[in-house]
Structure 1
């Protein structure tokens, strides 16, 4: 390619860029440093405040009602997909019971399973949709008997890791639940 052809292409590109900058500059003329320009109607501050109050009043009955979605409650459990992502983050981690490296991992697996259990129970599809995983976590809770000490978690290492892996497999077979 010759120098002239390259020069023409660069000149054309610069002209297009200049036209774009000019047209964008024209769009910004509606606003000034003192607010909107003359072509934008002004709205009284009291109008904004009353609209905000009305919006708050309308939203209050929705969140207070019994039909409110548990997934929208910021203090409620995570969504199933988010809780499952936390559980998946433990999949590549291993430990050897009795070697002193299991307390953190098994505690984390237990927490992730507890969070996923709560998410499945609160999910809009209902706990019946997650019947098997909920049964597995219930069996694990029975096995642990409420004792989440490092010694007890290490004692039930196979149960914790087995439940985690079983739920992972189940969820992989149900991708619509976490995507």
Structure 2
């Protein structure tokens, strides 16, 4: 017979392993992820047996909720948002310009939101937040391909500025 504490430990281990897999860019194979006797099964069993909420790694960048129920954000959101922005560094308008410009814009907006929500506070990222605000002011809410193409130099320049700035602040993304 399995004790409740053992089931909980297995569930926590499964959640930690899933979070690690997500942060490493790997996911468990579907046929092994929920098979009998696996950590995924133990996790589901733990929540069903104990009435405790199921531990998941759906969003490993969100820490447990505050007492008032609002989720707390960790620095991982900035790291993850910066990583996806960096993934655009070798791209250009050469292949699919509309996709590229929209992606850079989206990644900048996500990084801006992550920086503003970071526990260190938005004052920790003044230059990137200011550059994104300048870009947004210039775009004036128009994210059509035509407007993004018109301001391509500013859009890509903002991305490159933030990349350089973040490289000088490695504690914020490593």
Q: TM-score, normalised by structure 2?
A: 0.61
Q: For residue 87 of structure 2, what is the aligned residue in structure 1?
A: 89
Alignment partners' CA distance in 2, 1:143 and 1:83: 22
- State the shift of 1:158 in Å: 0.5
- Within the alignment, does 1:128 sit opposite 2:130 as a pair? no
Change (3 A) 1:88 1:42: closer
Q: Secondary structure at the match of 2:119?
A: coil
- Within the alignment, does 1:160 sit opposite 2:162 as a pair? no
Q: TM-score, normalised by structure 1?
A: 0.60
Within the candidate set 62, 65, 87, 1:63 is matched to 65
Provide runs of 4+ in structure 1 moved above 2 Å: 62-70
- State the shift of 1:171 in Å: 0.3
Aligned residues: 124
- Unaligned runs of at least 5 residues, structure 1: 1-34, 57-61
Normalized per residue, which structure has more helix? 1
